[in-house]
A and B are shown apart, each in its own frame.
Chain A
């Protein structure tokens, strides 16, 4: 009996070790990033070779990189720019997409199918292949080098509209018919019946649009000229290409830029994973 027990214990340890080994490649780069962001310049690459725990954990941790970054390098400004743009894109995308998805899934109107096909057809259009004319359009509207130029082109998101419509279709129709008989307007049905039943898809769509906007690189690189409106991703890449690179600051900038999305994911992952699974099933 005890022998069998110890065998099981041994098996369990093997499983845990195996999992740890599996997670390590995904975990170590982040540990290295955060660890190096807390190093002084002298210590930066001193312990890279040979490989010890010191390679990942700084000997004398310091926040001076963060202080430099936020103070004289105006990084906080870029962080706020990104936050403002990403939050605006997310809020507007969710609002517009919910309205359109409701109409596409619940209402009959002329040209509905044509309008929906229009949305579907643009889902596959790769951004890279239209970035030049998009730039010309946005410049023509005098929106280059403005926050609206970073926000407005991305709030009509065909993928999110499609995702929401597919989800709304799974909500039983008798619920909203009852509400309409009770004198509810369409906007009322959307607010009081549909949206409360769509939590996972709203979180998924919201997180996706936040991520896309927060990660956007090529578009802000092209469209923004004045440093005051620079977003965090472009700021990081420009830290990288300076003549003298302060790696500690680069790592600190990377850590700061990862915080919002990783935190949002960890907080909302239950809904998010559900929503992604739904999107994979509904294609």
Chain B
């Protein structure tokens, strides 16, 4: 009796091990080992072509932090990109969510259309917008000319390049933010608003004192995820501007890519990657701390 119970329990362990092993193995091999080896490689001068490895200690980090002005510049560009992206996309996503929650005929189609860019690939979207932004053949300049705005070189003028790339990514991703915030809005009971209306609260007051506080978890989720993804932005920059003009769109991920796969400086690029990872980790931990703090308060 005791024996069979024991073997049955062991059989469960065995089954559980079978169920979990593929995922754990895959994550170890393709996520954990790379993190550890990124750390290791970052201490070397490692050129992929010559396969030469020389131990440098912290030299890569010292060089990057103290002397690599391109790296410093790329951090600044990425920070500006991330802050603007979060602010604009959350505000716009919330506004759209408030609109598409109304029960109007055809609102489902509106919601779907706003979401379509989310499920279109970044390469496609960036390629099409490349042409929309084209200084002479682009459709955006001909739309703007209707309002008397002179033609602009959106992607070739260092002043407009980053905002143009940013606008395109907001256009692509705002549907996702809208859907998350919409489900947050829908989870707020209608009776709260009715009670507030009876107490004579204005629409703006209801929004500030009911909608915003109760939407906080959804808002925070959206803010944290947009931040994390913004710090990794690569594809639109690669396709639209290649980091230019005049490095105005040289984000960190593009800078890493160039160091690794154009200059073949794997060790140095790994050091940059480790720092990017650390920055993302710290920012998301701080953001989540703020969320928790807000909940307990």
Let me know if A215 and B122 touch, CB within 8 A: yes
Asked if B153 CB lies within 8 Å of chain A CBs, one says no
Nearest neighbor of B24 in chain A, beta-carbon distance = A115
Instruction: For residue B30, give the distance in angstroms from its CB to the closest CB of chain A.
Output: 4
Q: Is the interface of B mostly helix, strand, loop or mixed?
A: helix
Bound form: Cα–Cα A32–B27 in Å: 42
Asked if B191 CB lies within 8 Å of chain A CBs, one says no
Asked if B69 CB lies within 8 Å of chain A CBs, one says no
Nearest neighbor of B35 in chain A, beta-carbon distance = A130
Let me know if A23 and B114 touch, CB within 8 A: yes
What residues of B have a CB within 8 angstroms of the CB of A262 in the complex?
116, 119-120
Let me know if A251 and B128 touch, CB within 8 A: yes
Total residues of chain B contacting the partner, CB 8 A = 94
Nearest neighbor of A265 in chain B, beta-carbon distance = B119
> Are A100 and B22 CB-contacts (below 8 A) given A118-B28, A156-B30?
yes
Let me know if A19 and B269 touch, CB within 8 A: no
**Stretch from A62-70, A102-110, A171-179 at the B interface:** A102-110
What residues of B have a CB within 8 angstroms of the CB of A207 in the complex?
119
Let me know if A29 and B123 touch, CB within 8 A: no
Interface residue ranges of A1-60 to B (CB < 8 Å): 15-16, 19, 22-23, 25-30, 32-33, 36, 44-45, 48-51, 55
Instruction: For residue A130, give the distance in angstroms from its CB to the closest CB of chain B.
Output: 4
For A132, give its contact among B12, B232, B270, B281 (CB under 8 Å): B270
Chain A interface size, under 10 / 10 to 19 / 20 to 34 / 35 or more: 35 or more
> Are A132 and B41 CB-contacts (below 8 A) given A109-B13, A237-B127?
yes
> Are A156 and B217 CB-contacts (below 8 A) given A23-B114, A269-B112?
no
Asked if A125 CB lies within 8 Å of chain B CBs, one says yes
Let me know if A218 and B235 touch, CB within 8 A: yes
What residues of A have a CB within 8 angstroms of the CB of B132 in the complex?
29, 32
Asked if B150 CB lies within 8 Å of chain A CBs, one says no
**Stretch from B133-141, B156-164, B198-206 at the A interface:** B133-141
Which A-B residue pairs are the 9 nearest by beta carbons? A156-B26, A277-B183, A109-B16, A280-B180, A133-B34, A103-B19, A100-B23, A129-B273, A45-B137
Q: List 21 A-B contacts (CB under 8 A).
A: A26-B171, A27-B113, A30-B120, A97-B23, A109-B17, A109-B20, A118-B24, A122-B31, A129-B273, A129-B276, A129-B277, A132-B269, A133-B35, A133-B37, A136-B37, A161-B23, A218-B257, A258-B124, A277-B180, A280-B179, A280-B183
13 additional A-B pairs beyond A51-B139, A129-B274, beta carbons within 8 Å, are: A19-B106, A26-B117, A29-B125, A124-B281, A128-B276, A129-B38, A130-B34, A152-B30, A185-B15, A237-B238, A261-B119, A276-B179, A280-B222
